Amino acid sequence: MSGLSADFEMSYLAGATVRARFERPSEGASVTVLFGPSGCGKTTILRCLAGLERPRTGFIRFSGETWFDASSGRFLPPQRRGIGFGFQDMALFWHLTVARNIGYGLRKLPIGARQRRVEELLDLLGLRGLQHRYPRELSGGEQQRVALARALARRPRLLLLDEPLSALDSETRQTLGRELRLLLKSLGIPCFLVTHDRFEAMSLGDHVLVMRHGSILQDGPIDEVFSRPVNAEVARTVGIESVLPAEVVDHRGGLLTLDVGNARLTAVAPTARPGIGSPVQVCIRGEDVTLHTGTPEGVSARNCLPGRVTSLLPNGPLTRVELDCGFRLIALVTPEAAVALNLHEGAPIHAQIKAAAVHVMVK
């Protein structure tokens, strides 16, 4: 296995234990996101990969090298792993200028080569003109670019980023997020990135490890994991708005009929066929729910449920509409749509969901 292969357990004195088991290729620019709520152990996994923490058991191997192996006692210190690490609070050397921060890890290069490399990185991250400033004289976004440049200076074989955008305001986060995605793709360095923000995860990642309470719950391509979680816990962790218990009442032609609360839904059957009468969980993403004031006609969506609006809340750029249509359903619509449909508490409404958007989880 030429990639990164890890299977280890790390426990703290306080008693919390973090378990990790995964394999990722080391070629190409694949971005693996460690996703989960704060305190779930994602930063611990990143720190174990960096060699800043030493797991209790197991192993970590990268490109044919053993970085850690509890059975042989081998532990490669962070200095010798050839990684680039981005800290959540950036950890810039505040006593050094931007140029010296970027060139910090290049001490062994001759001075000319070091200067050329620093210049390259100043250009790559758009920091030209700031090289003589000190970190405290920079904006948050600029500081984050310096931190990235510093981590990239030594041409790491693996990039590890802990919440790279969390210290930034939302506008800077969006622009830097787009740039970061392009940068990671163009560098061709595999990257592990920790985040608790699903939009950040979806915009930056290719692959995701969903974590909760110190364990990896699901490991797969990001689109798949975020739209087809394996169980209700993953569905809640990745922030799918409606996660509901249901019962199978009929099963024909690859479609399931389900009782959810006091309503009946049609869903596409999952590969693991649940028997009639068996309890399952369904999840429905808020953006997959369409709202209508009248009874819609001539539409393809199989599920059309009458109900009432129970609450309206702003949710980022969208409005989160909570409905009672025999069960509690959340829809995400634009604020303009909410105004056009005259949505208010108690308003009667029809919710429409395509059968393919009702994801059935057997576990």
Q: Which two tokens stand for residue 47?
A: 């720190």
Determine the distance from the C-alpha atom of residue 358 to the mean position of all C-alpha atoms in its chain, rounded to a whole number: 22
Residues 37-56 that bind other proteins (CB under 8 A): 50-52
Per-residue binding letters, 3-42, with other proteins (x by CB under 8 A): ----------------------------------------
- Return the residue of 71, 72, 95, 297 that touches other proteins, per CB under 8 A: 95
Nearer to other proteins, 34 or 267 (CB): 34
Q: Which is nearer to other proteins, 21 or 154 (CB)?
A: 154
What is the closest distance, in whole angstroms, from the C-beta atom of residue 324 to other proteins in the complex? 48
Tell me the sheet residues that pair with 292. Answer: 350
Residue from 94, 123, 178, 262 binding other proteins (CB under 8 A): 94
Site for other proteins in 104-143 (CB under 8 A): 104-105, 107, 136
In the window 60-79, what residues touch other proteins (CB under 8 A)?
A: 77-79
State the binding string over 153-192 for other proteins (x if CB under 8 A, else -).
xx--------------------------------------
SS (H, E, C) 131-180: CCCCHHHCCHHHHHHHHHHHHHCCCCCEEEEECCCCCCCHHHHHHHHHHH
CA pair distance 285, 243, nearest whole angstrom: 9
Residue from 75, 87, 257, 318 that binds other proteins (CB under 8 A)?
A: 87
Cα–Cα nearest to 198, from 213, 177, 182? 177
d(CA 68, CA 322): 49
The yes or no reply on residue 85 touching other proteins (CB under 8 A) is: yes
Give the max Cα distance, the chain.
74
State the nearest-atom distance from the C-beta of 53 to other proteins, in Å: 10
Q: Which is nearer to other proteins, 146 or 321 (CB)?
A: 146
Q: Which residues contact 8 (CB under 8 A, 6 or more apart)?
A: 19, 20, 21, 48, 55, 56, 57, 58, 59, 60, 68, 70
Stretch that binds other proteins, among 19-27, 66-74, 80-88, 229-237 (CB under 8 A): 80-88
C-alpha–C-alpha distance, residues 62 and 212, integer Å: 25
Applying CB under 8 A, the residues found at the interface with other proteins are 50-52, 77-80, 83-85, 87, 89, 91-95, 104-105, 107, 136, 150-151, 153-154
